[in-house]
Amino acid sequence: MSALKEERSIPKFGAFYVLEARMKAMLKFFWVIASIAILNPVLYLVSIGLGVGTLITNNIGPNGIDGVSYLTFIAPALLATSAIQGAMDEVIFPTLDGFKWAKIFYGINSTPQTGSTIAAGVFLTAMVRTVGSVLAYSGILYLFGAMDSPNAYLAVPIAILAGASFGAVMLALASHVNSEDLFFTIVGRFVIGPMFLFSGTFYPLGTLPIGLQFFGWISPLWHATELGRFATYGHHINATMLVVHSLFLLAMLVLGLIFAFKQYTRRLAK
């Protein structure tokens, strides 16, 4: 009787069963994930935040970038970058493993689990990692004095939203992948690279030529960075752009999950 009851609960709570399984698998690589979450921000802060920041301070002054220190200026961008990177890794590799490498999704799908619950479970696991990475990163930023604003904590939920939005889109895209080599090449060279360089991460987007600003306009990193700077130290944004930034991230999140759920279901039905 209890087994039948549990089987009936799977369609309703199936995503959490997948989350549990993925978390157990993730714990095997806990120290690797933790090292990435800690070492990456430290290296970026030392090389960019302190190294470049010192040059900027010496030449422009302590309040030369948007009226705040360089560390304060880049903190929301670095936090959002951490969230996006963590979410992307945690949706792409499990998806490829589930469909192509170990093909475990087909076994899971032979139970009452559906494509949607499997996709939701993978996404929830990615969000657990994203939240952990962002919290660790924000703690390091605070220790380095990069989050000295009274409202600096607001950058945390904004970064998590950025990670969720990008993770949802990458979940949908990864579920279509048959050739991972080509996929990784395209994502690395034409998505992650331009997004990181041309999203106003290290300097205001408006300082770029108008042709390159386009990359920022379609980048979740830029939208999250603008919201983070507004929330943490009062970066000037008009009301219309606040709505645009928020809707852009929410639209990515919703549409990404819709397409991911459909594609997971479609691919598992083959």
Task: Report pLDDT digits (tens) over 208-225.
Answer: 888 889 889 999 999 999
Compute the Cα dihedral for 49, 55, 57, 60 and give only its sign: negative
Residue 226 lies in a domain: yes
Residue 242 lies in a domain: yes
Name the β-bridge partners of 65. 68
- Both tokens of 184, joined, read 């990784």
Residue 3 lies in a domain: no
Residue 227 lies in a domain: yes
Q: Does the structure show a pLDDT above 60 at 8?
A: no
Residues of the domain holding 201: 16-268
Q: What is the mean pLDDT of the chain?
A: 87
Which H/E stretch holds residue 33? Answer: helix 30-44
Q: Which of the pair, 143 or 36, is modelled with greater confidence?
A: 143
Residue 8 lies in a domain: no
The number of folded domains in the chain is 1
Q: Which of the pair, 14 or 256, is modelled with greater confidence?
A: 256
- Report the pLDDT value the prediction gives residue 4, as an integer from 0 to 100: 43
d(CA 129, CA 125): 6
Q: Does the structure show a pLDDT above 90 at 104?
A: yes
Q: Which of 59, 91, 79, 75 is nearest to 171 (CA)?
A: 91
Q: Which of the pair, 123 or 180, is modelled with greater confidence?
A: 123
Q: Which of the pair, 131 or 146, is modelled with greater confidence?
A: 131
- Report the pLDDT value the prediction gives residue 2, as an integer from 0 to 100: 46
Residue 5 lies in a domain: no
Using only C-alpha atoms, what is the Rg of the chain?
Answer: 20
Q: Does the structure show a pLDDT above 70 at 245?
A: yes
Q: How far apart are the first and last CA of the chain?
A: 32
Residue located via tokens 């705040």: 68
Q: Which of the pair, 202 or 166, is modelled with greater confidence?
A: 166
Residue 149 lies in a domain: yes
Distances (CA, A) of 173 to 31, 68, 106, 121, 176: 28, 38, 19, 16, 6
Asked if 75 and 155 touch (Cβ cutoff 8 Å), the reply is yes
Single-letter code of the amino acid located at 41: P
Residue 1 lies in a domain: no
- Report the pLDDT value the prediction gives residue 172, as an integer from 0 to 100: 97
At 75-101, the pLDDT tens digits run 899 899 989 999 999 999 999 999 999
At 34-74, the pLDDT tens digits run 887 777 777 777 776 666 656 666 566 556 678 888 888 88
At 146-190, the pLDDT tens digits run 887 888 899 999 999 999 999 999 999 999 998 888 898 889 888
Find the range with the poorest average confidence among 6-20, 129-143, 162-176: 6-20
C-beta atoms surrounding 204 within 10 Å:
14
65 phi and psi angles, rounded to 5 deg: -110, 105
CB-side neighbour CA atoms (13 Å) of 268: 26
Report the pLDDT averaged over residues 107-132: 94
